[in-house]
Amino acid sequence: MITIPVGLGERGYDVVVGPGARRSLPDVVPSGAARVAVVTQEGIDVDVDPGVPFERMLVPEGERAKSLATVEQLCRELARFGLSRSDAVVAVGGGVVTDVAGFAAAVYHRGVQYVNVATTLLAQVDAAIGGKTGVNLAEGKNLVGAFWQPAAVLCDTETLASLPAREWSSGRGEMAKYAFLGDGLLDGGRPGAKLLGLPLEEQVAMCAAIKAAVVAEDEREADRRMVLNYGHTLAHALEAAAFGGRTGPDLRHGEAVAVGLVFAAELARRLGRIDDERVKLHRRVVGGFDLSAELPARSSASELVGFMSRDKKARHDLTFVLDGPQGVEPVRGVAPADVLATLADMGCAP
């Protein structure tokens, strides 16, 4: 097992990575918990035993499950179960489950403790770590949520064996992001070679360690933590186009992030922050993770910019995380004309 500490003082916790990590759940359930609500989804066949009496509760599948209605229903189930403030929630699943269960834990009784048992690659390398919980509105992705740190995160790599191919792609999209955030991951002129060449447990642990270090430095996304959103502003806009009653692209989160990484590089070049070779590097990294860098057909630039302007990271302007001379960093006040022109260069309709 590989253990990565998330250094947040009294709110600190460990991320445990390796085959069979979920079996250490009884050791990390908060002391004093007399019962546990295990929140998961239909079809997640992962056995867990928290070591105390528990009840299994299901949330719906898909991005549309990330809603206030789902959180309300889950909180009502917690109340019927009799979960007290000293008890705990255990989320077993991918990013949808950890986001919804974590947010419910943050608001039920004004906060109960929770543990994430991450069962997808995306959740293990990113979504389950860092305490950002939340749900979507029709107006945009993750617009309602809370910072609420888990008591522990268990990344059992055994659970990845049965993942569908597109869930692997989704996780690799986040891994591609980390190739630009971690020192030395762009190794020997071969983008992502160091990360891709590692055993799976070490790949997950390396990404988790990068995220843990950033979260420890900036827990509530005042500045530094925004780098973890590299590629995500366009990604969230693409995802927002697919829910809230709209018909949008069929993209998993990490697939959208891969497109967003290349878009961010193209935008950075337009702004004079990076050169042509750096843009090519982004495309090679995305390709090295077997991901597409192309915008979905029928994407609308004006619609995407509208969603970007409402993204949770915007500060009454268009804010992007972009590569540059000092590396990846937040850039505020980007002109809409530059964003529209970059989307047009990538083949996006007006």
Catalytic residue annotation: 110, 132, 174, 211, 221, 225, 229, 232, 236, 253
For residue 48, give the nearest of 95, 92, 105 by alpha carbon: 92
C-alpha 155/C-alpha 235 separation (Å) is 24
CA distance 47 to 209: 26
Distances (CA, A) of 293 to 24, 207, 290, 346: 39, 21, 10, 9
Pick from 228, 208, 194, 175: nearest CA to 1: 208
Cα–Cα distance for residue pair 294/274, rounded to 1 Å? 20
Widest pairwise Cα distance in the chain: 59
Is residue 171 within 8 A of residue 33, CB to CB? The reply is no
Amino acid at 222: A
- The enclosing H or E element of 309 equals helix 301-309
- Cα–Cα distances in Å, from 95 out to 36, 51, 119, 248? 20, 24, 9, 20
Contact 234, 259 (CB under 8 A): yes
Segment holding 72, helix H or strand E: helix 68-81
Say how far apart CA 333 and CA 316 lie, in whole Å.
Answer: 9
